[in-house]
Structure 1
């Protein structure tokens, strides 16, 4: 009994820790689902006016409905989109009926079509305010001279297009932009891997117990 007690305790304690980690991940899964549900509800909520004071934490994903005109200038952000391949996000200035000019993400154009259709006529836009987190330590610097951007840096883009530092991601443009595919905000890009982590921890707990049982069996035969 003395020979099997240490590995038995070691095995049970280790398995309990692994099961605890798996359970914690399941709790995180429910928490993350709640966050995603809240974001989806906010994205599809009733449109609100453009804010006068910018507060990204409170206004992120805020739905808006705008009427106005799209400027002729455009900035191009290199992206890769599922089912669409490599291409550009087109960012243009948008001037509202009351004279405010903001940034408008008009959608996606293929990489070999680095152009944005000019819009002379008035348009209406439904979309969401956003402060995208495109940049990380491996993101190259924007090549402003060649109009090749690698991240939607709102401050730099607003300065380049002489707009307010507000970005609206279009969900619908009426009349629609010819040749552009809308890329509205959604929760698809927000990771939620807690279920996979939970399965991993529970699987490790099972393996741990199997190895413990094998060790105890071997020691029992040695007695």
Structure 2
């Protein structure tokens, strides 16, 4: 009986140990991801500073910035979705700062029915937002429908070329005193995946199932021997 049950027992224990190790590894990854997200959220909500001379993604992603300037004519409407509002359009406009620089500003969103409404241009505004380099482009992203004026992702170089600005995007964090005809759509960590808890639970459930099947197999072997 010992020889017949040895290898199934070892196989079951080793398999269960591997699955448990993967589960505990995901628990460690969960703690790491939660700390990372907390750090990003703290940076997003930090006190704003002046616009850097040469913003770089590696150094200035999520950096809070405040600036004053004038909203220039023209805009880009980017099709997006909100859980509470359904399909919406992000409105991207060019702002010329008091220092003479032109940058992209994600003003916020409007509903589908409000896309054709006129929004003020030439207004002097004080803006507070976060520098952001979105990762929204892949080989499946459709090209902008320039006839309809609809874009499908925030492609910073292409938007900068279209609106004649620096390739720098500021996403508004709060509405300025001037009514811009949009609702702010601020940067947050919602787009950063954090599935480590579900992965950990899956590995632990597989370990339990593996151990259960091992015990059942050993019981069957013992029944046949007896």
Matched with 2:7 is 6
Query: 1:106–1:182: 8 Å Cα contact kept in structure 2?
Result: yes
Q: CA deviation at 1:50?
A: 1.3
Q: CA deviation at 1:176?
A: 4.5
Matched with 2:214 is 212
Count of equivalent residues: 223
Q: CA deviation at 1:100?
A: 0.9
Query: 1:171–1:183: 8 Å Cα contact kept in structure 2?
Result: yes
Secondary structure of the residue aligned to 1:71 is strand
Matched with 1:112 is 113
Q: CA deviation at 1:118?
A: 1.3
Secondary structure of the residue aligned to 2:214 is helix
Q: CA deviation at 1:112?
A: 2.5
Q: CA deviation at 1:121?
A: 3.1
Query: 1:130–1:167: 8 Å Cα contact kept in structure 2?
Result: yes
Q: CA deviation at 1:58?
A: 0.9
Query: 1:123–1:173: 8 Å Cα contact kept in structure 2?
Result: no
Looking at structure 1, the residues matched to 139 and 128 of structure 2 have their Cα atoms a distance apart, in angstroms, of 33
Q: CA deviation at 1:52?
A: 1.6
Q: CA deviation at 1:51?
A: 1.7
> Can you give the 5+ residue segments of structure 1 that lack an aligned partner in the other structure?
none
**Structure 1 runs of 4+ with >3 Å offset:** 176-179
Match of 2:170 among 168, 171, 174: 168
Query: 2:107–2:172: 8 Å Cα contact kept in structure 1?
Result: yes
Matched with 1:132 is 134
Secondary structure of the residue aligned to 1:24 is helix
Looking at structure 2, the residues matched to 41 and 91 of structure 1 have their Cα atoms a distance apart, in angstroms, of 25
Give deviations 1:146-188, integer Å, cap 9, x for gaps: 3211111100110110011100000113225354111100112
Q: TM-score, normalised by structure 2?
A: 0.94
Q: How does 1:1-223 map to 2 (within 5 A)?
A: 1-115=2-116, 117-223=119-225
Looking at structure 2, the residues matched to 7 and 206 of structure 1 have their Cα atoms a distance apart, in angstroms, of 16
Secondary structure of the residue aligned to 2:96 is strand
Looking at structure 2, the residues matched to 89 and 152 of structure 1 have their Cα atoms a distance apart, in angstroms, of 9
Query: 1:125–1:170: 8 Å Cα contact kept in structure 2?
Result: yes
> Can you give the 5+ residue segments of structure 2 that lack an aligned partner in the other structure?
none
Q: CA deviation at 1:86?
A: 0.5
Looking at structure 1, the residues matched to 128 and 61 of structure 2 have their Cα atoms a distance apart, in angstroms, of 15
Secondary structure of the residue aligned to 2:113 is coil
